[in-house]
Each structure stands twice: as C-alpha cells, then as structure tokens.
C-alpha cells in the first residue's frame, strides 16, 4: 500500500478502532500485529473474564429457582467445557474484529513492528524476515502486560494470561492485588469452590472505589468465603510439598505463611515498550508509559500513541476512544480526549460500576456535597430477581447540583452506568434524572430514587436524609 496515512503498531482496542476510523475518514492505513487482533481485552482480558463470570452465574440458578417453585437439581461444573465456551466467545469476538478490518479495507500485516524513524516502521515477521513501510503518521498501540511481584520466587507466580488458561479449578489460590482484576478472579474461583485469599497492599480493597460501595462488596465477599488481607506485602514465595506454594505474607504488622496451590499476580500491569525503537525516534516516556497530550500525540511530530501503552485508566472503552481520537487527528479532524467522565465496571458478585468522583475524592477536592442513596432492597425488580444486595449512590455539588459521581453496586450495574455517564456528560442534575420517567419494574428505578434522595424526596424509602 503506497502513500499510507497511518501505520498502527498493535491491533488491540485502540489500534483496530483507529484503523477502522481512519478508513471511515478516507485514509489509507496499515495495522501491524504480531499476535491476534483484539489485544488483551478481547483475547485474555475483559471478554474472556466476563464469559467466565457468566458461567459461574449459572451456579446460583438452581438454588434461586427452588424459591420460585422450579426444581432444577444440583448444579455441576464441567470446568473444561466452561473454559472451552470462554474460548469460543473469544474466537467469535476476535473473528468479528477481523471482519470489520477487512470490510473497511484496512491492511493487516502479521509481525512485530518497531520504529525505524518517525515515519518508518520495520516489521519483523515470524520467520525472521524484515521489511520496512512508511506513512505520514504512526500510532503506537501496543498495550500493557501483567507484572509479576519483584520478590524471591515471584517468577513462579501466575499471570492473568495464565489464569485464563487453567485446566483445573484451583484447590486454593492467593491473589496478589485487591483491585478490579484481582477481585473478579476471586469471585470466579470462589464461586467454583476454591479457597481464595486476596492480599492487598492498601488499607482496603478497591482503594479507588467509593467506600460505601466497597463495604457492601466486602460483606458479600465474606459470604463467598473470600479471605481479605489488607496492608499486606509478600516477602517470599517458594515451592512446597505436593506442588504447592509457600508464601510469606505480612498483613497488619503480622507475618504469616500461607500454603496454596497457586499464586496469581492480578492488578499490576506495565506498558509494552520494549523493542519499539522509542529511543531511535526520541519519544518521551514516563512511569505509566508513553507520554501523550489529549490529541494522543507524543513529543515527536507524526507519532501518536493510544490505549494501555499510555497508562491509566487502562480500560478497553477508554482505548476505543483514544484510538478514535488519534485517527481523527491523523486525518486532520481536530479531536481531543475527555477523561472527565470515564465509566468503569468490576466483574464481582454483586457487580460494581461507577463514574466520576467518590465521596472521599469530592471531599478532598473541597466540594460541599449533597448525597443521595437508594438501596436495591427497596426496588421491586431486585426482589423479583432475588438480588437485593446493592445500592445506588449519587454525589452532587451542594449549591448548583452538578453531579460529581454516581456509584452502583448490584445486578446489571455495568449496563446502568451508561445512563449515569450520559447524565454527567450532558451536565444534568439529580433533579433532571429524578424527573425522567423510568420503566417499572426495573433496577434503573434505583437511579431515579437516589436522585430524588439527594433532596430527601425518595418515594420508596423511609430512610431519607436532608
């Protein structure tokens, strides 16, 4: 392909979206991918994770069904089939991405790309042969990878990629990291019957999630028999008898030794920067990855970067947006990222989703706030679903009613956060949410009632506070 507008190194969420958007705008693009398009999210991250979560959700159905007068018998787990189903989902989704790239006319080259100059990429194919291609602009979208702990024996720890390929349900599992990824794995394997311990370095799990929401999740994790160690550090991991691992953990000032079948490093990730030729082009990097502005441009003219390789927030939907913004700027369509309203979700039981500031963050930034809360136990649909554990919380600025953050824990939280995100994006107030008629019976009514509760006017709760 001559006279390319863009070469993309990496075909994950940022890269493949950038390729599609460039083609939509009439540009000529080549995407270089050394593995499979879709990146971590589609192949080893959120897509297979959610497929496994969907699988373990069925374990609750026979128990709940009995309360509805339906006897399904005892649930039995075929772990091999569960993992095979996960793989089928991945193949279907990544196959769809390949079709999108082909259908939009994007050229895809298999190989490892590296910068030879700000306008030239060297591609190393699987057979070791090399070639060079040129373009007006280059986009680096190589993502990030799991990071093992830097302690003695840390090289024997499972990465999240390896956890996705297990062939047996662990008897016991120590998860290093009490963030969103660690707790999703904790939920999955605890539901499957493993003895799960989570070691988190902070004073509480999900340290960047609203404290009230975390307290609800912590209660449910205890019911699932997940042991949580906070202010914990791992000092040594060594092999023990029977193929087990002996792990020395210090938690709350007390040292203990845990014997587990597997140790999983969950939440620490680092940008894929090696072998990209960044030094050749003179591209600046920081602690999180490649440094970019809101147009996804690096310090070198003509070179852009997007997705996990540029650092937090490392979320696929953020990478989608960054890839689109990068492509639009390549094609001279001025575009900037807006990180003010970024939703996130956590695949636990119950599910968590949030957007904006937590109550703690709002207070630390000096906001005077009014807060609305509504428990799912007071929502008809939650009772119908037999999933009454959860709540919606809205944090608003006291004088003008600006919504600062919305936090949801409960069934379908990740779907509900879309309305909350749009409300914040459109600068709606709690009054406008509460004045919007919501379908009954639905979980979404909790969002309306929480908005009403900001001014103490919730209709289906007696626990209203001015």
Of 240, 259, 257, the closest CA to residue 249 belongs to 257
Q: Are 269 and 146 in contact (CB under 8 A)?
A: yes
Q: Are 206 and 180 in contact (CB under 8 A)?
A: yes
Q: Where are the beta strands (DSSP E) in 70-194?
A: 107-110, 112-117, 120-124, 130-140, 144-146, 172-176
Q: Is 107 exposed, middle or buried (0-12, 13-18, 19+ CB in 10 A)?
A: middle
Give yes or no: 412 in active site: no
**DSSP H or E segment with residue 320:** helix 316-330
Compute φ and ψ for 48, nearest 5 degrees: -65, -35
Q: Is 126 exposed, middle or buried (0-12, 13-18, 19+ CB in 10 A)?
A: exposed
Q: Provide the 10 A C-beta neighbour count for residue 146.
A: 23
Compute φ and ψ for 177, nearest 5 degrees: 120, 115
Pairing of the two strands 403-409 and 391-397? antiparallel
Which one of the listed residues 317, 412, 438, 440 is annotated catalytic? Answer: 440
Instruction: Name 191's Cβ contacts closer than 8 Å, sequence gap at least 6.
Output: 56, 59, 224, 349
Instruction: Name 340's Cβ contacts closer than 8 Å, sequence gap at least 6.
Output: 424
CA count, 13 A, side-chain hemisphere, 86: 26
- Across 74-105, b (16+ Cβ under 10 Å) vs e yields eeeeeeeebbebbeebbeebbeebeebbeeee
In the DSSP assignment, the letter for residue 290 is B
Q: Are 26 and 331 in contact (CB under 8 A)?
A: yes
**DSSP H or E segment with residue 249:** strand 245-251
Which residues are part of the catalytic machinery?
440
């Amino acid at each position: 392909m001559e006279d390319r507008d863009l070469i993309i190194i990496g075909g994950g969420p940022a890269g493949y979206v950038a390729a599609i958007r460039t083609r939509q705008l009439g540009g000529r693009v080549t995407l270089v991918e050394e593995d499979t398009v879709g990146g971590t999210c589609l192949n080893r991250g959120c897509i297979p994770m959610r497929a496994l979560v969907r699988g373990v959700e069925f374990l609750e159905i026979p128990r709940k069904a009995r309360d509805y007068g339906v006897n399904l018998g005892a649930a039995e787990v075929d772990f091999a089939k569960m993992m095979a189903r996960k793989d089928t989902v991945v193949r279907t989704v990544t196959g769809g991405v390949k079709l999108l790239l082909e259908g939009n006319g994007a050229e895809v080259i298999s190989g490892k790309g590296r910068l030879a100059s700000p306008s030239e990429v060297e591609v190393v194919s699987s057979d070791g042969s090399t070639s060079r291609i040129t373009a007006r602009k280059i986009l680096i979208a190589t993502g990030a990878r799991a990071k093992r702990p830097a302690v003695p024996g840390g090289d024997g720890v499972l990465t999240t990629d390896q956890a996705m390929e297990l062939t047996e349900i662990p008897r016991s599992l120590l998860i290093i990291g009490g963030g969103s990824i660690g707790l999703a794995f904790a939920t999955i394997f605890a539901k499957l019957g493993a003895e799960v311990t989570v070691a988190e370095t902070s004073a509480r799990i999900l340290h960047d999630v609203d404290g009230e929401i975390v307290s609800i999740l912590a209660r449910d994790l205890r019911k699932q028999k997940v042991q949580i160690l906070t202010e914990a550090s791992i000092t040594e991991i060594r092999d023990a008898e029977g193929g087990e691992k002996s792990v020395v953990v210090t938690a709350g000032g007390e040292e203990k030794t845990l014997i587990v079948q597997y140790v999983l490093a969950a939440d620490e990730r680092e940008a894929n920067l090696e072998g990209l030729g960044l030094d050749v082009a003179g591209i600046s990097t920081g602690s999180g990855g490649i440094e970019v502005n809101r147009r996804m441009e690096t310090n070198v003219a003509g070179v852009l970067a997007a997705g996990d390789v540029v650092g937090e927030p490392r979320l696929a939907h953020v990478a989608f947006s960054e890839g689109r913004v990068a492509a639009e700027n390549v094609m001279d369509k001025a575009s900037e990222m807006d990180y003010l309203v970024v939703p996130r979700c956590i695949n636990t039981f119950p599910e968590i989703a949030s957007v904006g500031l937590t109550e703690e963050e709002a207070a630390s930034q000096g906001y005077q706030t009014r807060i609305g809360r509504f428990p799912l136990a007071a929502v008809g649909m939650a009772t119908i679903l037999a999933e009454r554990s959860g709540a919606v919380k809205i944090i608003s600025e006291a004088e003008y009613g600006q919504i600062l953050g919305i936090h949801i824990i409960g069934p379908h939280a990740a779907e509900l956060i879309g309305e909350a995100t749009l409300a914040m994006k459109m600068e709606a107030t709690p009054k406008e949410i509460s004045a919007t008629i919501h379908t009954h019976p639905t979980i979404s009514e909790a969002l309306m009632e929480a908005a009403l509760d900001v001014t103490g006017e919730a209709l289906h709760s007696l626990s209203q506070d001015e």
